[in-house]
Structure 1
Amino acid sequence: MSGEIVVIAEKPDLAKAIAEGLGGGSRQDGYIDCGRHYVTWVFGHMLELEAPETPWTMAELPISFIPWSKKPSPDKMKQLRIIRDLLKPAKSIIHAGDPDDEGQLLVDEVIEWAGSRLPVQRVLINDYNLKLVQRALATMRDNREFAGMSAAAEARGVGDLLYGVNMTRAYTLAAQAKGYQGVLSVGRVQTPILGLVVRRDREFEAHTKGFYYTVTGQFQIGQHAFPARYQIVDGDPVDDKGRLSDQAHARAIAAAVSGKPARIISAVTTAKEASPPLPYNLLKLQTDASRKFGFKPDQVKEITQTLREKHRLITYNRSDSEYLSDEQHADAAGVLAAIGETAPVLAAPVKRADPAIKSRAFNTAKVSAHHAIIPTEATADLSKLSDGEQKIYLLIARAYVAQFWPTHQYDQTDIVLEVEGRRFTTRSNITTRPGWTTLYKNDAGNEDLADDEEVLALDLRALSAGQTGTCASASADQQETKPKPLYTMATLLTDLTRVAKYVRDDRLRKLLIEKDKDKAGEHGGIGTPATRDGIIATLFDRGFLIEKGKNIVSSPQAREFYDALPDQAKFPDMTAIWHEQQRAIADGSKDARSFVQTLADYVAREVAGVKEHGLTIKTDAPPCPTCDRPLRRVKGKKGHFWACTGYSEGCKYTAEDKAGKPVLIKKEPPSVSVMHKCMSCGMGLVRRPSAKKKNSFWWSCSGYPDCKQTYFDVNGKPDYSTKEKTA
């Protein structure tokens, strides 16, 4: 190996793009030989934080992570060794992680693990377009400028592990003491997501039906008949949302205007146009796939992974961006042709697409670490893909094709009328050119894509101010107040991008929104596109979230757990606090160790509270037949069995397990002899059967566990001449 410069890319696709930017090279085992440059890659975190191997007991908590250490992930050791061997004879390194703090850490930690002291340059690439890659390689910076980003990412990773391990163990152990069977997992992102669902469920259930009123007039102006809605003014009785709240008042308005002359105060028609929906990022794709096909987020991520890695049909699939670089516009003809060949159902729309159209999606300034998920120029036989792969590819492809269709154009007419001194308004939208909306008529995106006809129901463009007519009739309609609907997977995913609105502290809310100021589609979100689906899947696996029809609701145990948690754990405030502190780490005004130490102090206080007060949580654990404490299912060397949670208090009851249920046999309390006393403490002895030998017995002190004295049995009596060894 003789490459003078080793380039470490965050993923194989980026390594390939960099190799092409360097003029091409030959693929080797774990790297690409480009002559003077060797281009290698990582895939995800190659190193993992080491969690101390301690038993799951309260006595071991809190677990310290200071100082923390990392170890190679076993399945990534081969690639790590390749990178280390490439670095040994090299003269310098190019760091090609994604241009965000996590991408910075991914490569920095590998360089540190390899023990390299070579000079490192940083290249920032968020688009694999050849010209952009070459431009980035020509404008590299010193990697030391980005040390703060790496430290911030490391602090967050250590903090998440410290917080999750300690809080999960503390709450789980406290719950298990009450007979709880599962794991009460706690996480900085996971638990606030659970909190969103619990609070939404309770708000829905606590809703008290109420009513408000709308007044609608049916107007006849010349040849035009149309409805219009009454506009509320000061003095009208309204509810907290500004809606009419008094039925008699609403009826009085309707009676006052019904059959009376009406005059148009203003009639304004404005030509409008709407751009096509932006291409997908992962979260928007997961949301649409859930709404249209019922796919779970982790399913969508797996399908896109296959479409990308196996079929090479789409670009990077875990993107949080909905935009493309300006340079990618030059690829339009090739990508469109590939779509038409791969998906015959889209062949006609592709033919009508105009590669010269440049939609708002092409905006380099809005591309983050990645660009939107779009089709590649690779082709395949769509019929040979799985049903899920076909559906997801067609969604991605349709969104891309729409970028090259004309905008949707329509005339918007706003009418204001007056009758008996009261004003009514209405709006009408009339399509003048369907444009890209034709592609979305069939929302599944797989038929009737060539139909341009629009059914128009109402056209008020001919109306003008000053025209008169009649309010033919009016009605005061009672409307029922409704709570926010229960979550669906689609609405939950959408809410995760804007959880800042649920933060109670104004300053923290602004911090969370500020975190996403450069991310289109994120408005104070929690989690990342790459992690949200896994977190939601964990909540389902733990039994915290359950499906109820199309809705996602919290389980009874989730609500019990929620009520036992401190507010800081179940609201998204912590993510905002962490963002502020990690921003300070990134700019050098705070260090990672002090952040972790502050968090460790907080966790220690929470754990101490759990130790002192336990956990108030209801369980359906069966009671111990001996002492009435709850039983808990335990895995032993020979399989599962049930044991009393009062073991440490002296109850040693156990029961066999059958299909996950205990075989309950009430054990009579041992008979304490009044004749035979312990020679050590004077307490009565208990004659017990031997577990190892049939028809054999031994004697133990009834003062156990304070006195552990035992005796052999001789003809039904304790043998005081020879004492057994005590435990």
Structure 2
Amino acid sequence: MTIRRLFIAEKPDLAKAIRDGLGGGKSQDGYFQCGPDAVTWCFGHMLQLCDPEDYDPKYKKWNMADLPFSHVPWKKKVASDKKDQVKKIMALLKQAREVVHAGDPDDEGQLLIDELLEFAKCTLPVKRVLINDNNLKVVQKALANLRDNQEFAPLSAAAEARSVGDQLYGYNLTRAYTLKAQNQGHQGVLSVGRVQTPILGLVVRRCRLNASHQKSFYYSVTGDFDIQGLNFNGRYLVKDTDMVDEKKRLLDEAQAKQIAQDATGHTAILASVKTEAKQTPPPLPYNLLKLQTDASRKFGLKPDQVKSITQTLREKYKLITYNRSDCEYLSDEQHGDVPGVLTAIGQTAPIFANLIGKSNPGIKSRAFNSAKVSAHHAIIPTEATADLTKLTDAEQKIYLLIARAYIAQFFPNYCYDRTDILINVGKHQFTASAEVPTRMGWKALYKNDQDNEDLAQDEHILACDLRILKQHDQGKCIKASAEKKETKPPALYTMATLLSDLTRVAKYVKDERLRKTLIEKDKHKQGEHGGIGTPATRDSIIKTLFDRGFLAEQGKSIVSTPIGEKLYDALPDQAKYPDMTAIWHEQQKALKTKQDVVGFVQNLMGYIGREVESIKQSGSVKLADSVPCPKCTKPMNRIAIPGKQAFWGCSDREGCKTTLPDAGGKPGQPKPKATVSAQFKCQACGNGLIRRTGKKGKKAYAFWGCSGYPACKQSYEDKLGKPVITVTPDDKNFSYNPVPDPTHLV
């Protein structure tokens, strides 16, 4: 069989869209046959860079003498779980006369197919199709506009340079810092990465700013006014001659009190009254980061949990579109799908049926703008339906968030009248502002949403109606008062605020040129303004920082641990600020060919080599001050195992074996030692019982176990703090209520 054109799509969904765009086709083993053409697919990146030990087995053991290492040219291998599909693609390539590259229209999508063709040593002509929306009309238009794939070689080169650079940078510096620290008895990995380490830096610096805050005071003067029978508060408007701080706040207590005294009881005259009709459009549909932010704020879900949930909603239930998007916009063509999507939402989530009935599918909100759609459009519901009760609680919550944001696009803008007034009281002036809703519009869907930045309103905006006032109206300042206020330290990060900050870290770059470079990197990305990381990687990077013990949670706040701070202090500024990403982007703009990428890597290895040599020559990488074991006084080590709760263990593993719980990155207090009951005896052996706790899944429970364990494994259910014993001690035919094996103790 000869294939005229072999389309290779980045993912199965896109392959199906291309099949439909070609007029349909027959499903085969790993591809669709569409007349003389065939459409096959990848599952994201099918290849991965070889690990150091793939080049030489000696690299499997971490050894400072082997650093730095690099391999030019580098090699790639097929991901272990994708070998079957790669074999099918290779077989199809042998039958094809031409290839059509259908990766996502961004640098990673370009590399994904290019590297596969290079791996296959493909010499066929290659065309490129650019599809960022699976809408049939969009796909058909793209298929009619194929381009030469060589035009996009610079995109592929930039992505490859970043991939190889990240691996060499991370592997070399992680091993170097870890090995140096292990010489001091530290256990665990000190991971370093181009994105990971600047994120750690953000948290460390915020924690230190918060801790080092020097409180100071300022003064706020407010007046209680009565004008035309309307009672409201106004704020003092500072003059150029007042003593103020950088935020235009009064600093002199005596002056503040004098202003309040001057205004109290005196005539108030309205110098100006201005009312303006305003409106606010609905929030845009979700991208992954905004969804993770809202899910953290509302439900306390971790970013990696949200990504996993959206993957399930997409792949298992087909309820939402591509879930790793960084875009908040939709194509113009998708407006034609609105009736079908709204109907599906109403069937899946009847709770929205009434609101959908009030919506207007004819409204075309600002979200429908093809020019602003990047490699993917926003995350929205599909026309598929499901029984919502069959979903987990978290899956329901995420689906409902996505659905609500979509429904909001078909409600009118929120409309309100904004009134601003200026009040003269003798030689002083006060201001007041108020907003009166004239049409709730989309806000009807969000009225119970707390702490939503899309609903946030200036704390100084009054809820009263100032529209009845007019210029020159007179009244009185009944009373004015000066209030002493304390400056607040920068707030510690929460998961929501950290995720939000990752999209605009350029503001923390010290070098102005690099700051502009980082912002320029995102010029075609909506919702990003000089960020680091991607929607697909940020959550896993943050999770790694927690798993390694560099970050910890204190309530809802995210804080750096002593180990995280010591690692931060040991690193050069270029590593712990976002500068590295900006430098790489600047260099990658000039890359056109594979040889250019080689030059970039060789230049990077010069920097890595100098850093590794500096680590080798340094006396030590001083980490957290040693915490003595409470039993033997030897150093304690924090042990973080992915997926499990971190704890502290004595470095004398063979002799002491003392462990302590982790408390915000520091050793916590040991759990109280279980006491043997003198009152309750084991019915099997006569030893005293001990009340213990265990877990069934995530649910904790109490039970009573024999103090003779493990020789005696008798156990009893707990009821109101007492063991449930159904026999008397002298009953030889006793029975008991079994509970799970006490080896599951927590």
TM-score, normalised with respect to structure 2: 0.82
State the partner residue of 1:124. 130
- SS in structure 2 of the partner of residue 350 of structure 1: helix
Partner of 2:81: 75
Q: Does residue 273 of structure 1 match 2:279? A: yes
Residue 599 of structure 2 is aligned to residue 594 of structure 1? yes
SS of residue matched to 1:585: coil
Cα 1:307–1:268 shift into 2, 3 Å: same
The one-letter code of the counterpart of 2:312 is T
Which residue number corresponds to residue 228 of structure 1?
A: 234
Q: Which residue type is aligned with residue 393 of structure 1?
A: Y
8 Å CA contact retained: 1:31, 1:41: yes
Q: Does residue 1:6 correspond to 2:6, yes or no?
A: yes
Conserved in 2, the CA contact under 8 Å of 1:126 and 1:367? yes
**Counterparts in 2 of 1:181 and 1:231: CA distance versus 1, 3 Å:** same
SS in 1 for 2:437: strand
Shift of 1:658: 3.8
Partner of 1:665: none
- Distance in 2 between residues matched to 1:333 and 1:77, nearest whole Å: 41
Corresponding residue SS for 1:273 = strand
Structure 2 counterpart of 1:166: 172
Q: 1:317 aligns with which of 320, 323, 331?
A: 323
C-alpha distance in 2, partners of 1:517/1:427?
A: 36
Partner residue in 2 for 1:500: 506
Q: Is the 8 A contact 1:3 1:35 kept in 2?
A: no
Asked if structure 1 preserves the Cα contact closer than 8 Å seen for 2:436 and 2:464, the reply is yes
Shift of 1:209: 1.3
Measured against aligned partners, the alpha-carbon deviations of 1:515-540 in whole angstroms (never above 9, x if no partner) come to 11111111111100000000001011
Match for residue 545 of structure 1?
551
- In 2, Cα distance between the equivalents of 1:10 and 1:285? 24
Q: Report the CA distance shift for 1:521/1:599 in structure 2 as closer, same or farther (over 3 A).
A: same
Corresponding residue number in structure 2 for 1:33: 33
Contact 2:220–2:484, Cα closer than 8 Å, also in 1:
yes
Q: In structure 2, what is the equivalent of residue 183 of structure 1?
A: 189
**Aligned length in residues:** 634
For residues 323 and 281 of structure 1, the distance between their equivalents in structure 2, rounded to whole angstroms, comes to 9
Distance 1:462 1:590, change over 3 A: farther
* 1:65 positional shift: 2.9
Alignment-derived partner of residue 358 in structure 1: 364
Shift of 1:619: 5.1
Helix, strand or coil for the counterpart of 2:481? strand
Structure whose alpha-carbon radius of gyration is higher: 1
Q: Report the CA distance between 1:376 and its aligned residue.
A: 0.1
Contact between 1:219 and 1:228, CA under 8 Å: does it hold in 2? yes
1:88 and 2:94 are equivalent in the alignment: yes
- SS of 2:261's partner is helix
User: Could you report, residue by residue, the CA deviation over 1:604-642 in whole angstroms, capped at 9, with x for unpaired residues?
Assistant: 11110110113122353779x99x999999xxxxxxxxx
Name the residue aligned to 2:673.
none
Shift of 1:467: 1.0
Indicate which of 292, 303, 314 corresponds to 1:308: 314
Once the two structures are TM-superposed, the CA of residue 442 in structure 1 deviates from its matched residue by 2.2
Aligned equivalent of 1:208: 214
**Aligned match for 1:408, one of 394, 408, 414:** 414
Given the alignment, which residue of 471, 477, 484 partners 2:483?
Answer: 477
Question: Structure 2 residue aligned with 1:612, among 610, 617, 627?
Answer: 617
CA distance in 1, matches of 2:637, 2:564: 20
Q: Residue 22 of structure 1 aligns to which amino acid in structure 2? A: L
CA distance, structure 2, for counterparts of residue 306 and residue 30 of structure 1: 22
Distance 1:473 1:622 in 2: 61
Query: Separation in 2 of the partners of 1:569 and 1:590?
Result: 26
Q: Which of 437, 441, 445 is the aligned partner of 1:435? A: 441
In the TM superposition, structure 1's runs of 4+ consecutive aligned residues that sit over 2 Å from their partners are 442-445, 618-623, 628-633, 653-661
Query: 1:98: which partner in 2?
Result: 104
CA contact (8 A) 1:581 1:590 kept: no
Change (3 A) 1:457 1:428: closer
Cα distance, 1:35 vs structure 2: 1.6
**Equivalent residue runs for 1:337-356 within 5 Å:** 337-356=343-362
Stretch moving more, 570-579 or 590-599: 590-599
1:378 is the counterpart of 2:359:
no
For residues 410-451 of structure 1, the C-alpha deviation after alignment (integer angstroms, 9 at most, x for no partner) is 101111111112211111000011011010012289xxxxxx
Q: Does the aligned pair in 2 maintain the 1:9–1:39 contact within 8 Å?
A: yes
Q: 5 Å matches for 1:634-649?
A: none
**1:479 offset after TM fit, Å?**
1.2
394-403 vs 592-601, greater mean Cα deviation: 592-601
Counterpart contact for 2:178–2:191, Cα < 8 Å: yes
Displacement of 1:241 after TM fit?
Answer: 2.3
In the alignment, which of 323, 332, 335 is matched to residue 329 of structure 1?
335
Instruction: Tell me by how many angstroms 1:585 deviates.
Output: 1.2
Which residue identity does 1:509 align to in structure 2? R
Once residues 109 and 271 of structure 1 are traced to their aligned partners in structure 2, the CA distance between those partners, rounded to angstroms, is 55
Which string of whole-angstrom CA distances, capped at 9 and with x for unpartnered residues, describes residues 337-359 of structure 1?
A: 00000001001011111110000
For 1:655 and 1:128, locate their aligned partners in 2 and report how far apart those are by CA, in whole Å: 60
Shift of 1:18: 0.5
How big is the shift at 1:655?
4.6
The answer as to 2:566 corresponding to 1:560 is: yes
Distance 2:224 2:628 in 1: 65
- Name whichever of 325-334 and 26-35 sits farther off: 26-35
Q: 2:533 aligns with which of 510, 523, 527?
A: 527
Deviations 1:296-350 (A, max 9, x none): 0000000000000000000000000000001100100000000000001001011
8 Å contact 2:508–2:577 — kept in the other structure?
A: yes
Q: Aligned to 2:360, what secondary structure does the other structure show?
A: coil
- 1:71, CA displacement in angstroms? 1.1
User: For the Cα contact (< 8 Å) 1:65–1:162, is it kept in 2?
Assistant: no
Contact 1:329 1:362 in 2 (8 A): yes
Q: Distance between the aligned counterparts of 2:228 and 2:655, measured in 1?
A: 86
1:176 deviation in Å? 0.6
Mapped to 1, the partners of 2:372 and 2:657 lie a distance apart of 59
**Correspondence for 1:258:** 264
Displacement of 1:654: 9.5
State which of 501, 506, 509 in structure 1 corresponds to 2:515. 509
Contact map agreement 2:270 2:422 (CA 8 A) in 1: yes
**What SS is found at the alignment partner of 2:410?**
coil
In the alignment, the residues of structure 2 paired with residue 444 and residue 357 of structure 1 have an alpha-carbon distance, to the nearest angstrom, of: 27
Describe the SS at the equivalent of 1:591: helix
**Aligned residue in 2 for 1:249:** 255
Which amino acid counterpart does residue 572 of structure 2 have in structure 1?
P
Partner residue in 1 for 2:585: 579
Contact 2:103 2:110 survives alignment (8 Å): yes
- Mapped to 2, the partners of 1:420 and 1:206 lie a distance apart of 42
Contact 1:214 1:244 in 2 (8 A): yes
Query: Runs of 5+ in structure 2 lacking a partner?
Result: 54-58, 452-461, 640-649, 661-746
Measured in 2, the distance between the counterparts of 1:399 and 1:382 equals 18
Give me the whole-angstrom Cα distance separating, in 1, the residues matched to 2:262 and 2:44. 70
Provide the C-alpha distance between the structure 1 equivalents of 2:37 and 2:626, rounded to a whole number of angstroms.
63
Please give the alpha-carbon distance, in whole angstroms, between the structure 2 residues aligned to 1:632 and 1:444: 37
Q: Which string of whole-angstrom CA distances, capped at 9 and with x for unpartnered residues, describes residues 541-597 of structure 1?
A: 1011111101111111101111111111100111111111111215x6991111111
Deviates more, 1:563-572 or 1:588-597: 588-597
Q: Is the 8 A contact 1:51 1:65 kept in 2?
A: no
SS at match of 1:584: coil
In 2 relative to 1, CA 468–139 (structure 1 residues): closer, same or farther, beyond 3 Å?
Answer: same
State whether structure 2 residue 20 is matched by structure 1 residue 20.
yes
Aligned AA for 2:563?
A: Q
CA contact (8 A) 1:229 1:426 kept: yes
Matched AA of 1:601: G
Which amino acid in the other structure matches residue 465 of structure 2?
Answer: D
Which residue in 2 is equivalent to 1:107? 113
Identity of aligned residues (%): 63
Q: Which amino acid aligns with 2:521?
A: K
